[in-house]
Structure 1
């Protein structure tokens, strides 16, 4: 009986010693899971608003939720007195091995996370990366998909994007259309400038602010080369370009402006 009483006393002492920690751990577990699920939901909604693919947002939000739950598990284990050093060592070794095997993929994945956080661009933006120009169609886990004006889909690894200079033409909401137009030396520049400005003001999607810019760029052996610079939304770049070519040519014909072409200079060619 004394031996049984001793075991009961030890068990009672153990329960009394661990009960508060266990109760606190259970409370932290319940509250922690609810908070983590809420954070994962908020992260998923934020990614959807940012234009991230619906095929990716569940995956990323799941990774976030699992990572936070693992941290929660180690925190609770430490609260109740369980040694976590061995678990951490095993996970670290496994993570190191996986990291070596998937070094390139993990680099692109990490770059994708950086893009999502700092948002140098989003779906629908017109960007230029490594001399490749196009509209962002989708930001995937490992790659960014852009569609060129020629309807080609380019798949660019996110690691290359992060390491390169990215030009975002949609950031300011407008882009400058760069045209070169030639006029003969016999014509008056103020007159030709007025004609071109009137043409630009009549083209849909040419912005009033910033105002179109027209000036003399250089002198050719047969012509004066004018720089014509209207502004428009990136989505309307080519529509404005083609309309400007057509209408300026028609206006020149209407006003009897004869343009002599010299080698290497074409009316309405897009500048560099």
Structure 2
């Protein structure tokens, strides 16, 4: 047995394998750099064409995954592995993964539909999948929504597409819905006039359409007014809280009595309550 010859052959094989390892590392590094550079060029091209950022992020995610899969196949070919059989194996694995991860594929398909039909875009304030907030990103599998209390929430695209979607940013303005309870003795026409005058002075309340203040319904305590000013989407909560304050201030300044509870279980009111509602024991 010629140990020198064996050592030479082993050294040649190790050298060849080592060179392949180094070449594979270089190929991986160069490939990653080229992919990043290509993605930057694609992003820049989309920006020059004023393509919506939602579509850009979605397409870049798909391109990035596809190019990295191609890079891995190229590395396997560099080591002499038959890529045809690998492709067949990858397809079989894809079928198995698809069966096991049906939910992820459903989210992927739903994301594609959201991109095509575009019920919302990045920056819109929406309610979707049971979550209300501003859309930060529409990803391949999920959508990131930042809620008003500053909590980043990730919602699966399939849940969003299979449920109702409310987009508050589509229209230029929206209505604030509030109610005001009046006492029986209060003149509702006077209360409506006072509220309209005060609410029209609230900053960011639109003049057109004008605030709607009308009788909504009646309770045992008295009539209930619907108080509905209009404002832009950005000023919704400011107008909401300022309108509540205005209702309180107007009624206090006018000296309106506070609405009484419809039922009371003390004194003579007990008989009134019994005349309007059955006994709990009946």
Q: Is the 8 A contact 1:41 1:61 kept in 2?
A: no
Shift of 1:260: 1.9
- Asked whether the 8 Å contact 1:185–1:223 carries over to 2, the reply is yes
Distance, in Å, in 2 between the alignment partners of 1:186 and 1:131 is 42
What's the counterpart of residue 60 of structure 1?
62
Q: Distance in 2 between matches of 1:210 and 1:204?
A: 15
TM-score of the two chains, using structure 1 as the length reference: 0.64
Whose RCO is larger (CA < 8 A, sep 6+)? 1
Change (3 A) 1:49 1:201: farther
Tell me, in whole angstroms, the C-alpha distance in 2 between the residues paired with 1:156 and 1:47: 29
In the TM superposition, residue 129 of structure 1 has moved relative to its aligned partner by 2.4
Q: Please report the RMSD computed on the Cα atoms of aligned residues, expressed in angstroms.
A: 3.7
Aligned residues: 212
Aligned ranges 1:216-231 → 2 under 5 Å: 216-231=215-230
Secondary structure class of the residue paired with 2:240: helix
Aligned pairs for 1:12-51 (under 5 A) are 44-45=46-47, 49-51=51-53
Q: Who is 1:112 aligned against?
A: 111
Structure 1 spans left out of the alignment, 5+ residues: 1-36, 70-85, 265-272
The 8 Å contact of residues 136 and 146 in structure 1, kept in 2 or not, is answered as: yes
* Aligned mates of 2:137, 2:262 — CA distance in 1: 42
More deviation, 199-208/156-165: 199-208
Cα distance in 2 between the residues matched to 1:61 and 1:40: 10
- What residue number does 2:174 align with? 175
Measured after TM superposition, the shift of residue 255 of structure 1 is 2.3
Superposed, 1:132-171 pairs within 5 Å as: 132-171=131-170
Identify unmatched segments of 5+ residues in structure 2: 1-38, 71-84, 264-282
Give the whole-Å Cα distance in 2 for the aligned partners of 1:261 and 1:134.
38
* Per-residue deviation, 1:126: 2.1
- Could you tell me whether the CA contact under 8 Å between 2:179 and 2:226 is conserved in 1? yes
TM-score by length of 2: 0.62
Cα–Cα, structure 1 residues 114 and 46, in superposed 2: closer, same or farther, change >3 Å?
A: farther
Q: Measured at CA, do residues 174 and 261 of structure 1 come closer, stay the same or move farther in structure 2, by a change above 3 Å?
A: farther
State the SS of the aligned residue for 1:136: strand
